[in-house]
Structures are given as C-alpha cells and as structure tokens.
C-alpha cells in the first residue's frame, strides 16, 4: 500500500529506557524540553549496561521504564540535548529514529 503525502507527517521517534526509579525525573526533563505527549511502559526488562533487568524476579526485582514519543526534528534535538547530561546518571539508553505520524486526531507533538 502506498500512503498519500497528506496522510503522514515526517517525525522523529524517541525511545528512552531508564531505571523505573528515574522515570519521574526523566519525565520532568522531557516536560522542560517542551514535550507535550509521550507513552510510558513500566516494568520493562532486558539486558544492557547495568546487566540483566528482571521485573518478575521476586528476590531481586529490578525494573526499567520505557518512554516513547514522536516529535518534529527541532523538538527532538531539544529533548536529546536536555536529557543527554543525565543519561549517564540514569543509565539506560536513548534511541532516535525516523518515523511517520498518521494524521488523525489532534496531535501532541
């Protein structure tokens, strides 16, 4: 299927993974960078620089949180420049990729 240009808006997708305890601080930083919309996924697990994170382990419960947002390129640059100094403190990772927003209800970018 070929999408018509009036159906999509070119955007940047930002995915940030942090320790769940740092989620509130990360969201504060995102808001200070002007982010108006995002999705959070709590209790995420995985393997990374802090070792294996196992949200379902009863003995040593370690949880990550994932924040996903889409915004225009200038906004993405503001977000990255705002959170970058804290990423080493938070741990985790930040990914930026190209995406397309399907035009529909009021947008939050």
pLDDT tens-place string over residues 28-48: 999 999 998 999 999 886 666
Determine how many CB atoms are found less than 10 A away from the CB of residue 11: 20
Share of the chain above pLDDT 70, in %: 77
Would you say residue 53 has pLDDT above 80? Answer: no
Contact 50, 66 (CB under 8 A): no
Mean pLDDT of 50-72: 75
């Amino acid at each position: 299927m070929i999408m018509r240009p009036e159906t999509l808006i070119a955007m940047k997708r930002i995915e940030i993974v942090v320790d769940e305890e740092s989620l509130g601080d990360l969201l504060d930083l995102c808001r200070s960078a002007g982010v108006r919309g995002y999705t959070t996924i709590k209790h995420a697990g995985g393997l990374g620089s802090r070792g294996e994170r196992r949200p379902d382990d009863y003995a040593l419960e370690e949880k990550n949180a994932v924040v996903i947002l889409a915004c225009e390129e200038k906004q993405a640059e503001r977000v990255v420049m705002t959170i970058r100094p804290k990423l080493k403190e938070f741990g985790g990772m930040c990914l930026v990729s190209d995406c397309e927003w399907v035009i529909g209800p009021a947008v939050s970018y």
